[in-house]
Amino acid sequence: EAGVVQSPRYKIIEKKQPVAFWCNPISGHNTLYWYRQNLGQGPELLIRYENEEAVDDSQLPKDRFSAERLKGVDSTLKIQPAELGDSAVYLCASSVMGTAGETQYFGPGTRLLVL
């Protein structure tokens, strides 16, 4: 079974430039998450989708961040304009409900460096 796919793996941009990240979840997983992981920290949730609906975007900085999940499969996370503090790893995850609880599976992440 293919895992969560993310692209690009690495991105270097100058501040004030836009950037976009793409995620393809595991087939059949209806729930999709975007996380941001800063150096030395655990991942922190940005937004959660149930199919094409964003059910929790309370942690998404909406002045510069946007996300979409058209057709409830692939998702795109955008930052415009990027700031120096946005340098981090952006992780996408999708989940499946097991007998004990919901388990999230992560992609490899996109490492963003803003100069």
For other proteins, the binding residues in 46-65 under the rule CB under 8 A are 48, 55-56
CA distance 111 to 115: 13
CA distance 114 to 105: 27
How many residues line the site for other proteins (CB under 8 A)? 29
Residue closer to other proteins, measured from CB, 81 or 105: 105
Minimum Å gap between C-beta 85 and other proteins is: 18
66 binds other proteins (CB under 8 A): no
28 binds other proteins (CB under 8 A): no
CA distance 47 to 57: 4
The DSSP code sequence of 6-49 is EE-SEEEE-TT--EEEEEE--TT--EEEEEEE-TTS--EEEEEE
In this structure, what are the phi and psi dihedrals at residue 3, rounded to the nearest 5 degrees? -90, -170
Of these, 17, 51, 80, 103, which contacts other proteins (CB under 8 A)?
103
Residue closer to other proteins, measured from CB, 28 or 42: 42
* Residues engaged in binding other proteins (CB under 8 A): 4, 6, 9, 31, 33, 40-45, 48, 55-56, 91, 93, 95, 98, 100-109, 111
